[in-house]
Amino acid sequence: MERQKKEKVVEELKSKLANLNAMFLAEYSGTNMTQMTKLRRELRNVDVEFNVVKNTLLKIASGGTKAEVLQDKYTGPNAIICINKDPTSAAKVLSGLAKDVPHLKMKAGFLGDRVITPEEILKLATLPSKEVLVGKFLGLLQGMPQRLLYVLSGNMNKFMMTLNAIKIQKEQG
């Protein structure tokens, strides 16, 4: 590859890496073209990019980005899975295709400012999506005032019954 082409690839890759929420690093050796095409298509459906990149270009491009923490893992044939939105959907696709693409091995990744292991990437697949979590949280917030009102009214009812019992006792006695 010519130097100018390499510089252009590094520049594009650096801008892509600078804006990521998360990235997974995977080894793909032994994966055939049909499996790679299926993997790319499935990941594209959840708005995730799958790119095969030369390690030297990846090391240069990752300098000064969040992906820099993974530089010690840039050995062997690597593919990067670039995630701009929801990392759980990418993890679900990868774990779902584990049987169809057995040679794809997760090496590491980052999520926000944290390095994650292959096991943690697979645990992400078991989490509900961001939309579901937000919905559950909003449901909890809506239920809180009702529960508080119920608890407070219960105490008020007990207080009123106690006062009523005292009134009846004084009237009788």
Q: What is the mean pLDDT of residues 75-83?
A: 86
The amino acid occupying position 140 is L
Band (pLDDT 50/70/90 cuts) for residue 1 is: low
Please, are residues 48 and 112 in contact by the beta-carbon 8 Å criterion?
Answer: no
Hey, where are the domains in the chain? 3-127, 128-173
Choose the most confident range, by mean pLDDT, from 1-5, 23-27, 145-149. 23-27
**What was the pLDDT predicted at 130?**
76
pLDDT tens digits along 115-159? 888 888 888 888 887 788 888 888 877 877 777 677 777 777 778
Cα separation, 70 vs 77, whole angstroms? 14
Mean pLDDT of 9-18: 84
Q: What is the rounded distance in angstroms from the CA atom of residue 108 to the CA atom of residue 142? A: 38
Does the predicted TM-score (pTM) go above 0.75? no
Amino acid at 91: A
Angle between helical axes of 3-18 and 55-62 (0-180°, round to 10): 50
For the domain with range 3-127, which CATH number is right: 3.40.50.720, 3.40.50.2300, 3.30.70.1730, 3.40.50.300? Answer: 3.30.70.1730
Q: Residue 35: which pLDDT band, with cuts at 50, 70 and 90?
A: confident
Quickly list DSSP for 36-91.
HHHHHHHHHHTTEEEEE--HHHHHHHHTTSGGGGGGGG--SSEEEEEESS-HHHHH
